[in-house]
């Protein structure tokens, strides 16, 4: 180096050299932002690290950004501002994740900032909106600086303080980003974004011995000293019997529930108080873990059945030459056991495993089953968790604490870097697709990309695979393994169609109930077996109508009828949440004959209670499960056997496994089948098969399913009865091919919206024309008013773009669409139009 001509200048030059960082900001702007790196930061700043930066005109407004690129060319368009603080010395966002963000931004046509914003739990994103809370677990006050101590004392007085309030407290000289960073790294505070439903953790009060006694000698000295105080000695001995510190002193840190120590006598209570006062014991609190299950890990041996073992072996064999395998296993075949086997093998070989589940299934039985096997090696990632818990899983993945994570769709964003296996359970589930906000991604498809980059295998599982997936398997692009026997000699239920047209003619219907269903319910009650009733519509009844003039109650913001909710005695819009009082008389003609039409779960529950006054009935739908643990409570109560009937929406179709359910009743099947969408038949098959699968999951008695329909001869119903997935597939795939629908094409839906219908229409027309010019009219459908053409006072138009899989360069098409959209959005005449792209829309 010394001989190089530039060396004379180089030292001087590096001093002058300014570094810049291109940052991903969590805002919906489709570009990176360049910031200046302060001199002291150049050595520590790394790609993938989080930084705090000032943003916007207002002084003091800050955001957390992620470093995407480091370089030394200043931006030409604007004056770069300085980065305020680096949050990570070791990047919290991996290279794989940055790649994922870029890919998603391009593939799903949305700004990279939107991707990052969804990917990072808000506990990792300090911003002006952040709230800071004292961490009740914190017990190292000696680590704090004087100033931090003052601030922390202040924080303890409040449930939480906002970033702005901290600024005020810190005053002129205080560098709040640096302070928060320091307090976080000392685990003295918790940062979260204010959410609607704030998580209030349940605290357990614990005690542990003073750290001194973790040394064996000190402990002996203590016990000797307490010889004279037998009651206190007994308390310490009781502690040691639960926490065998003699064997492993570190166990002390976990401590013991306070209640265990002063269980019986009052005496131990006062002894404990004395011991606490004298500093022998210290008290502390921890947050109760969500799925507390005390049975130790690996206590449960999984013994696969013959069929399951065969399936597992076939999957392994196919993984030799396939990256993706579909496990097509009927309901109750024990797919979970096969997954557990695969997970154990992958973990054993040292790689990471991700197990994706649909949102709702995750709060329940499966997790408990998994936890019995994997214990605290398993991380759980759920959207109902608090920020703080999600941050812990995130960090646990980085640190290696969690080699295996079970999670909902957003778990694809966790910082894995060594995935060996991804399982997508119930791969057909539409809840894997995020609808709002952007990125509108499909977790199954993202999982496949992740696996591709990290050379991991993907196992898709379902009793009713999506047509897309099954098609790929049939084409040989995915492996296919079938598991067509139920566990433990249980058989699939007997499905019977009940012709309600006939019953109506014979006047044997009672409200919504056929006599066939009522009789079956009656018999089931007598046998003390449980029943499930499925109606995919919540509320009391979907319409309220005047008998005289046919006026119907509609939402004032959306073009939909309001649903009548009897319990709450109000009308509700299921699109925007608008609520209003029930009219006593018709607002148009003044008639008093305002009636409800149709029925939802609430009405069924009421009617059941009338027909079966002695039965215990529960309802499970969006309305009864809003509260934090409501879902689990309903399931537990039903599982305990004290409940006779469970009425519910599609929530009850997902993965539930009850021993004693032998009857399933299905209402309104025709409505599911006739839904105006090219996927309606597939959906109806999936939903009805899944809900039927809840019946007869134990050997001994075959379950029964009654489907109420107006036209029993419909071919899809026959296929459901025969569990003829392949028949359904053959029929449907032909139709998809004829009309060039997925899997033969990709769909992109563009939704244009504006509060002025004419402007919305104008923008949609223009976009359609421009797209048609380029793509041809066969590929561009619309603009069309969607089923609900007005939501929250915005008028909507949909444009559907169909692109053949093999013939067209999709990337180029997307780029072109994006350009056209940008043109319209920047057109002054079309101000405030919003256009949303939904790639691979469902």
Q: According to the binding rule CB under 5 A, does residue 573 interact with Zn ion? A: yes
Q: Tell me if residue 470 falls in helix, strand or coil.
A: helix
CB of 550 to Zn ion, least distance (A): 7
Residue 657 interacts with which of Zn ion, ligand ADP, none, CB < 5 to 8 Å by class: ligand ADP
Distance between CA 748 and CA 800 in Å, rounded?
6
269: left (phi over 0), alpha (psi -120 to 50) or beta: alpha
Nearer to ligand ADP, 106 or 639 (CB): 639
Tell me the Cα Rg of the chain: 31
Distance between CA 378 and CA 273 in Å, rounded?
37
Distance between CA 50 and CA 69 in Å, rounded?
12
Q: Tell me if residue 90 falls in helix, strand or coil.
A: coil
Beta strands at 404-407 and 378-381: parallel, antiparallel or unpaired: parallel
433, 421, 491, 432: which is closest to 459 by C-alpha?
421
Contacts of 182 (CB under 8 A, 6+ apart): 145, 148
471, 442, 401: which is closest to 729 by C-alpha?
471
- Is 573 known as a binding-site position? yes
One character per residue 574-593, x = contact with Zn ion (rule: CB under 5 A): -xx-x-------x-xx-x--
Nearer to Zn ion, 162 or 557 (CB): 557
Which residue stretch of 301-309, 547-555, 665-673, 730-738 sits at the interface with ligand ADP (rule: CB under 6 A)? 301-309
One of 48, 113, 332, 407 touching ligand ADP (CB under 6 A): 332
- 356: phi then psi, degrees, rounded to nearest 5: -90, 135
Half-sphere exposure of 598 (CA within 13 A, CB side): 19
CB of 657 to ligand ADP, least distance (A): 4
One of 23, 421, 555, 705 touching Zn ion (CB under 5 A): 555
Nearer to Zn ion, 292 or 755 (CB): 755
CB of 205 to ligand ADP, least distance (A): 35
737, 726, 731, 840: which is closest to 463 by C-alpha?
726
Residue 649 interacts with which of ligand ADP, Zn ion, none, CB < 5 to 8 Å by class: none
Residues 238-277 that bind Zn ion (CB under 5 A): none
Residue 576 interacts with which of ligand ADP, Zn ion, none, CB < 5 to 8 Å by class: Zn ion
Nearer to ligand ADP, 130 or 333 (CB): 333
Nearer to ligand ADP, 305 or 541 (CB): 305
Q: According to the binding rule CB under 6 A, does residue 465 interact with ligand ADP? A: no
Helix intervals (H) in 108-210:
112-119, 146-157, 163-170, 176-185
Q: According to the binding rule CB under 5 A, does residue 607 interact with Zn ion? A: no
Q: According to the binding rule CB under 6 A, does residue 662 interact with ligand ADP? A: no
Distance between CA 561 and CA 543 in Å, rounded?
6
For residue 140, the surrounding DSSP H or E stretch is: none
Residue 591 interacts with which of Zn ion, ligand ADP, none, CB < 5 to 8 Å by class: Zn ion
- Is 576 known as a binding-site position? yes
Binding residues with Zn ion: total (CB under 5 A): 15
Nearer to Zn ion, 17 or 589 (CB): 589
Q: According to the binding rule CB under 6 A, does residue 305 interact with ligand ADP? A: yes
Which residue stretch of 332-340, 466-474, 797-805, 831-839 sits at the interface with ligand ADP (rule: CB under 6 A)? 332-340
Nearer to ligand ADP, 148 or 429 (CB): 429
Distance between CA 448 and CA 458 in Å, rounded?
7
Residues 741-760 that bind Zn ion (CB under 5 A): none
- Is 110 known as a binding-site position? no
CB of 459 to ligand ADP, least distance (A): 13
Q: According to the binding rule CB under 6 A, does residue 308 interact with ligand ADP? A: yes
Q: Tell me if residue 144 falls in helix, strand or coil.
A: coil
Q: According to the binding rule CB under 6 A, does residue 337 interact with ligand ADP? A: yes
Q: How far is CA 163 from CA 168, 545, 749, in A?
A: 9, 50, 39
Q: According to the binding rule CB under 5 A, does residue 559 interact with Zn ion? A: no
Half-sphere exposure of 835 (CA within 13 A, CB side): 30
One of 47, 178, 304, 568 touching ligand ADP (CB under 6 A): 304
Which residue stretch of 222-230, 290-298, 333-341, 830-838 sits at the interface with ligand ADP (rule: CB under 6 A)? 333-341
Nearer to Zn ion, 556 or 715 (CB): 556
184: left (phi over 0), alpha (psi -120 to 50) or beta: alpha
Residue 426 interacts with which of Zn ion, ligand ADP, none, CB < 5 to 8 Å by class: none
Beta strands at 161-162 and 130-134: parallel, antiparallel or unpaired: antiparallel
Q: According to the binding rule CB under 6 A, does residue 358 interact with ligand ADP? A: no
Q: How far is CA 757 from CA 232, 752, 760, 791, 836, in A?
A: 78, 10, 5, 12, 17
Nearer to ligand ADP, 457 or 694 (CB): 694
Cα angle at 183 between 180 and 188, to 5 degrees?
Answer: 135
* DSSP state string for 756-810: SHHHHHHHHHHHHHHHHHHH-TTTEEEEE--SS-EETTEEEEEEEEEEETTTS-H
Nearer to ligand ADP, 462 or 745 (CB): 462
Contacts of 744 (CB under 8 A, 6+ apart): 736, 737, 804, 805
Residues 522-551 that bind Zn ion (CB under 5 A): 546, 548-549, 551
Residue 575 interacts with which of ligand ADP, Zn ion, none, CB < 5 to 8 Å by class: Zn ion
Peptide bond before residue 439 is cis, with ω within 30 degrees of 0: yes
- Is 841 known as a binding-site position? no
Handedness of CA 261, 262, 265, 269 (dihedral sign): positive
- Is 555 known as a binding-site position? yes
Q: According to the binding rule CB under 6 A, does residue 487 interact with ligand ADP? A: yes
Q: According to the binding rule CB under 6 A, does residue 657 interact with ligand ADP? A: yes
Give yes or no for a contact between 41 and 83, defined as CB atoms under 8 angstroms apart. yes
Cα angle at 587 between 583 and 588, to 5 degrees?
Answer: 150
Q: According to the binding rule CB under 6 A, does residue 386 interact with ligand ADP? A: no
597, 605, 643: which is closest to 624 by C-alpha?
605
Nearer to ligand ADP, 287 or 483 (CB): 483
Nearer to ligand ADP, 123 or 407 (CB): 407
Which residue stretch of 122-130, 237-245, 326-334, 553-561 sits at the interface with ligand ADP (rule: CB under 6 A)? 326-334
Which residue stretch of 325-333, 410-418, 576-584, 600-608 sits at the interface with ligand ADP (rule: CB under 6 A)? 325-333
Q: According to the binding rule CB under 6 A, does residue 696 interact with ligand ADP? A: no
Residue number of the CB atom closest to ligand ADP: 334
Residue 787 interacts with which of Zn ion, ligand ADP, none, CB < 5 to 8 Å by class: none
Q: According to the binding rule CB under 6 A, does residue 303 interact with ligand ADP? A: yes
- 561: phi then psi, degrees, rounded to nearest 5: -75, 150
One of 335, 390, 440, 766 touching ligand ADP (CB under 6 A): 335
Half-sphere exposure of 37 (CA within 13 A, CB side): 27
Distance between CA 269 and CA 57 in Å, rounded?
59
CB of 315 to ligand ADP, least distance (A): 14
Residue ranges for the known binding site are 546, 549, 555, 558, 573, 576, 586, 589
Q: Which residues bind Zn ion (CB under 5 A)?
A: 546, 548-549, 551, 555, 557-558, 573, 575-576, 578, 586, 588-589, 591
Residue ranges for the known binding site for Zn(2+) are 546, 549, 555, 558, 573, 576, 586, 589
Q: Which residues bind ligand ADP (CB under 6 A)?
A: 303-305, 308, 329, 331-337, 487, 657, 697
């Amino acid at each position: 180096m010394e001989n190089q001509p530039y060396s004379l200048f180089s030292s001087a030059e590096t001093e002058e050299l300014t570094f810049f960082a291109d940052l991903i900001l969590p805002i919906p702007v489709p570009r990176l932002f360049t910031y200046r790196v302060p001199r002291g930061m150049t050595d520590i700043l790394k790609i993938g690290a989080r930084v705090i930066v000032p943003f916007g005109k207002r002084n003091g407004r800050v955001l957390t950004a992620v470093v995407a690129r480091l370089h030394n060319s200043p931006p030409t368009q604007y004056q770069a501002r300085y980065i305020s603080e680096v949050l990570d010395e070791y990047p919290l966002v991996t290279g794989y994740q940055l790649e994922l963000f870029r890919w998603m931004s391009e593939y799903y046509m949305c700004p990279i900032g939107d991707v990052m914003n969804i990917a990072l739990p808000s506990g990792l994103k300090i911003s002006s909106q952040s709230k800071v809370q004292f961490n009740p677990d914190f017990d190292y006050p000696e680590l704090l600086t004087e100033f931090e101590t003052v601030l922390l004392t202040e924080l303890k007085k409040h449930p939480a303080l906002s970033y702005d309030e901290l600024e005020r407290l810190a005053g002129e000289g205080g560098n709040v980003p640096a302070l928060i960073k320091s307090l976080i790294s000392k685990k003295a505070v918790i940062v979260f974004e204010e959410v609607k439903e704030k998580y209030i953790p349940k605290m357990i009060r614990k005690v542990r011995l003073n750290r001194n006694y973790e040394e064996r000698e000190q402990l002996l000295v203590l016990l000797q000293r307490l010889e004279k105080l037998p009651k206190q000695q007994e308390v310490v001995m009781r502690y040691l019997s639960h926490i065998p510190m003699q064997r492993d002193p570190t166990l002390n840190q976990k401590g013991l529930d306070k209640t265990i120590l002063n269980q019986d006598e009052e005496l131990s209570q006062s002894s404990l108080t004395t011991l606490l006062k004298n500093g022998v014991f210290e008290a502390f609190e921890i947050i109760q873990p969500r799925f507390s299950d005390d049975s130790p890990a690996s206590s449960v041996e999984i013994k696969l059945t013959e069929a399951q073992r065969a399936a597992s072996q076939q999957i392994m064999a196919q993984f030799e030459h396939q990256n993706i395998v579909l496990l097509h296993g009927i309901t109750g075949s024990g797919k979970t056991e096969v997954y557990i086997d695969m997970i154990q093998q992958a973990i054993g070989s040292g790689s990471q495993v991700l197990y994706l589940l649909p949102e709702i299934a995750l709060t329940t039985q499966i997790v408990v089953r998994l936890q019995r096997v994997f214990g605290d090696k398993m991380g759980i990632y759920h959207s109902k968790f608090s920020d703080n818990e999600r941050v812990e899983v995130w960090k646990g993945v980085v640190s290696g604490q969690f080699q295996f994570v079970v999670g909902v769709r957003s778990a694809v964003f966790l910082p894995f870097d060594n995935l060996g296996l991804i399982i997508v359970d119930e791969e057909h589930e539409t809840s894997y697709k995020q609808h709002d906000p952007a990125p509108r991604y499909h977790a199954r498809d993202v999982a496949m990309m992740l696996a591709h980059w990290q050379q991991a295998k993907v196992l898709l599982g379902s009793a009713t695979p999506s047509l897309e997936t099954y098609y790929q398997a049939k084409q040989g692009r995915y492996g296919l393994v079938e598991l067509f026997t139920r566990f433990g000699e249980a058989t699939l239920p007997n499905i019977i169609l009940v012709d309600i047209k006939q019953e109506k003619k014979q006047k044997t219907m009672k409200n919504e109930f056929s006599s066939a269903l009522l009789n079956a319910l009656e018999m089931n009650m007598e046998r003390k077996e449980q029943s499930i009733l499925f109606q995919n519509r919540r509320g009391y009844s979907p319409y309220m109508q005047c008998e005289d003039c046919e006026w119907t109650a509609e939402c004032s913001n959306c073009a939909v009828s309001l649903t009548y909710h009897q319990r709450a005695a109000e009308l509700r819009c299921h699109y925007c949440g608008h609520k209003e009082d029930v009219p006593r008389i018709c607002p148009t003609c003044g008639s008093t004959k305002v009636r409800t039409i149709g029925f939802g779960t609430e009405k069924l529950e009421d009617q059941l209670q009338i027909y079966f006054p002695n039965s215990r009935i529960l309802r499970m739908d969006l309305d009864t499960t809003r509260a934090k643990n409501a879902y689990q409570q309903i399931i537990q109560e039903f599982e305990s056997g004290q409940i006779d009937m469970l009425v519910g929406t599609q929530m009850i179709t997902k993965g539930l496994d009850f021993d004693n359910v032998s009857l399933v009743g299905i209402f309104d099947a025709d409505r599911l089948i006739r839904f105006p969408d090219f996927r309606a038949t597939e959906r109806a098959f999936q939903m009805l098969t899944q809900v039927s699968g809840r019946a007869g999951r134990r050997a001994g008695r075959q379950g029964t399913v009654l489907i109420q329909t107006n036209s029993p001869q419909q071919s899809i119903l026959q296929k459901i009865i025969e569990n003829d997935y392949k028949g359904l597939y053959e029929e449907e795939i032909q139709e998809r091919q004829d009309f060039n629908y997925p899997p033969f094409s990709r769909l992109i839906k563009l939704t244009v919206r504006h509060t002025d219908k004419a402007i919305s229409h104008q923008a949609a027309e223009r976009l359609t024309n421009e797209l048609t010019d380029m793509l041809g009219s066969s590929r561009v459908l619309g603009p069309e008013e969607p089923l609900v053409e007005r939501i929250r006072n915005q008028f909507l138009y949909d444009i559907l773009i169909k692109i053949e899989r093999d013939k067209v360069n999709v990337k180029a098409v997307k780029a072109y669409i994006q350009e056209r959209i940008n043109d319209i959005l920047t057109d002054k005449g079309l101000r405030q139009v919003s256009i949303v792209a939904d790639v691979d829309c469902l």
